[in-house]
Amino acid sequence: MEAKNNLKQLIQMFSVFDGKDLDKVVDCFKTRLIKKNEILLCEGDIAKEFYFINSGCIRTYFITKQGHEKTRYLMIEPSIGTALTSFISQKPSFEFIDALENTEVLAISYKDFYRLADEIQAWKNFYLKIMEMAYSFQNRKIESLVTLSATERYKQLIKENPKIVQRVSNKILASYLDIKQETLSRLKSK
């Protein structure tokens, strides 16, 4: 019950719902417990769920042709997300999703997500807000990769989301910042 209340609070931060519609939305989310290192989505699979992270941490990442992991997004409670391109298009994903900790998510299916967008204006508004946020986040990330040094990217992450630095391994943090682990170790030791 606590997880669904947390979900309600997060949803209401983005759109105004009446109680009946909010309950209808939240009832479409199913609780899933995910073990550390469990893969929720593999490259080539279609993202069929959208997640609310109630506790724990999941990430989306790619594997390059050279076999290197590149972390695109880290989701620590309370947050939302999925492999958006695959989820929206219902085409095979280029990325993976896995759990970095034992994690509790509430998941909504693609079918229910878009049915609610057709039926409930407040959910459609919520969807628009999260798409705007995702677009802005990705643009800021690209800008920082292009315009900031490794040190500046690391300092920006500490300022904007210190929990990530505390909870994620150096290997994953380095792949998220697009720097070498050795560089990250030097930055952390300063």
Same domain, 115 and 156: no
In tens, the pLDDT along 164-174 reads: 988 999 999 99
Residue 41 in this model has a pLDDT that exceeds 90: yes
Please report, for the domain that includes residue 32, its CATH number.
Answer: 2.60.120.10
In tens, the pLDDT along 131-149 reads: 999 899 889 999 998 999 9
Residue 93 within any structural domain of the chain? yes
Q: In this predicted structure, what is the pLDDT of residue 38?
A: 97
Same domain, 22 and 100: yes
**Domain tally, the chain:** 2
Residue 136 within any structural domain of the chain? no
Residue 167 within any structural domain of the chain? yes
Nearest residue to 82 (alpha-carbon basis) of 26, 138, 134:
134
Residue 6 in this model has a pLDDT that exceeds 90: yes
What percent of the chain stands above pLDDT 90?
A: 80
Q: What does the mean pLDDT of the chain come to?
A: 93
Q: In this predicted structure, what is the pLDDT of residue 116?
A: 96
Question: In which domain, by residue range, is 174 found?
Answer: 148-190
* Helix segments in 94-149, DSSP class H: 110-119, 121-147
DSSP three-state, residue 147: helix
Task: List C-alpha distances in Å: 65 to 83, 94, 142, 181.
Answer: 19, 12, 20, 19
Measured between alpha carbons, how far is 70 from 49 in angstroms, rounded to an integer? Answer: 22
Residue 188 in this model has a pLDDT that exceeds 90: no
Same domain, 100 and 170: no
Residue 137 within any structural domain of the chain? no
Same domain, 121 and 167: no
In which band, very low, low, confident or very high, does the pLDDT at 190 lie, cut at 50, 70 and 90?
A: confident
Residue 185 in this model has a pLDDT that exceeds 90: no
Residue 161 within any structural domain of the chain? yes
